[in-house]
Amino acid sequence: MVRGAVSLFKLKGFHRTTTREIAKAAGFSIGTLYEYIRTKEDVLYLVCDSIYEQVRSQLQAMDTEQGTLVSLKLGIDHYFRVMDDLQDEVLVMYQEAKSLSKDALPYVLQKELEMVGMFETLIKRCCENGELALDETRIHLLAQNIFVQGQMWGFRRWALQKKYTLEEYIEIQTDLLFSGINGYLE
C-alpha cells in the first residue's frame, strides 16, 4: 500500500490524491483500506514512517565505528547515494510532512534526529580518535549540514541535477565540506 501511495503522492501530492486512488493502487477496495487505517492522514504517517525505515535500513551499511576521515568521507558518499536512490520518497516527505497531525509530526521529526545522530556519531568517533578537534555545537551543525546537503540533491534537483552528475555532486560537496573556502585562498 505504501509503495503505491508514495507514487501517487509524488505525482499529485497528498491532498490531490484520493483515498480511492490509494486503495486502488494498493489493490484493495476502499472498504478494506479503512480496515488498515482510520484516517487518510494515517496513510501519510505510514508513508513517512516507511520512507524513514528505508533510509535507515540503507544507512545501516555505513561504518560508524572506524572513526577516520576516510570512513567519514565514505559515510557521506554512501548517504548521498542513498538520497539519490530515494529522492522521490524524500521529496514527498519534505513536501507533505507538514500535513501530518500534531501527534504524528514529532514522531517523524524524532526519526530525522536519529539519522542526523548517525553523522554526529561518525564525526565524534573522528574526534575521539584524535583525527579532528570539533566542539559539540560544531559537530551537531556539521551533521545537520551533511544531512540537508543529501536531501538537497533531491529537493533541489531542478537546479542541481542539471549542472552536476551525482559523482560530481558528491565530490565537490565533500571537498567544500572538508576544505571550506579557506582551502581556496590565493
Partner DNA sequence: TATGAATGAGTGTTCATTCAT
Partner DNA sequence: GATGAATGAACACTCATTCAT
Site for its own copies contains 172 (CB under 8 A): yes
Site for DNA contains 19 (CB under 7 A): yes
Element spanning 89, H or E: helix 87-96
Task: Quote the CA–CA distance of 17 and 174 in Å, as a whole number.
Answer: 38
Site for its own copies contains 60 (CB under 8 A): no
For 77, the grid coordinates are 558518499
User: Residue from 34, 107, 155, 164 that binds DNA (CB under 7 A)?
Assistant: 34
User: Residue from 116, 121, 157, 166 that binds its own copies (CB under 8 A)?
Assistant: 116
Nearest by Cα to 119 from 166, 161, 155, 82? 82
Site for DNA contains 155 (CB under 7 A): no
- 118: helix, coil or strand? helix
For 155, the grid coordinates are 529537493
Site for DNA contains 20 (CB under 7 A): yes
User: Residue from 27, 38, 60, 98 that binds its own copies (CB under 8 A)?
Assistant: 98
C-beta contacts of 105-114 below 8 A and 24+ residues apart = 108/45, 108/48, 108/49, 108/52, 111/49, 111/52, 111/56, 112/52, 112/147, 114/56
Q: Which stretch binds DNA (CB under 7 A): 35-43, 95-103, 122-130, 166-174?
A: 35-43
Cβ 96 to DNA, closest distance in Å?
13
Cβ 105 to DNA, closest distance in Å?
17
Nearest by Cα to 52 from 173, 172, 147? 147
Is 165 exposed, middle or buried, given 0-12, 13-18 or 19+ CB atoms closer than 10 A?
Answer: exposed
User: Residue from 78, 142, 157, 166 that binds its own copies (CB under 8 A)?
Assistant: 142
Site for its own copies, rule CB under 8 A: 13, 15-16, 69, 72, 95, 98-99, 109, 112-113, 116, 130-134, 137-138, 140-142, 144-145, 148-149, 152, 156, 158-160, 163-164, 168-169, 172-173, 175-186
